[in-house]
Amino acid sequence: MLFRSPRTGLQGALDPLGALQAERIVYVSCSPATLATDLKQLVEVHGYHLEAAGIADMFAHTSHVESVAVLRRGEPAELEKLRLAQAEGPPEKST
């Protein structure tokens, strides 16, 4: 799921979004402060884990940046097991 929040953040929309239980969320925000507040709720209340974060300087010669966060549903240890399983590929068939 991809969403771009207003400068004020997602506020009342976080509970309905969390209820959707999307496997992955990509959250783009022009306000790092509201992004942090919203991420805290997605992690602590809705069971997401911050997988990656960064900024995009889309407005050259200004102080404005876009913040991007990628969240995945589940605990970090569960996610690591999933990554390892995907890296190993499907189990071999016995002949």
pLDDT tens digits for the chain (95 residues)? Answer: 898 888 888 888 888 888 898 999 999 999 989 999 999 999 999 999 999 999 988 888 988 889 999 999 877 666 566 667 777 776 666 65
30 — phi, psi (to 5°)? Answer: -95, 0
Q: Pick the catalytic residue: 22, 26, 30, 68? A: 30
Q: Please give the pLDDT value at position 86.
A: 74
- Catalytic (active site) residue 30: yes
pTM value? 0.72
Provide the 3-class DSSP secondary structure of residue 28: strand
- According to the 3-state scheme, what is the secondary structure of 38-90? HHHHHHHCCCEEEEEEEEECCCCCCCCCEEEEEEEECCHHHHHHHHHHHHHCC
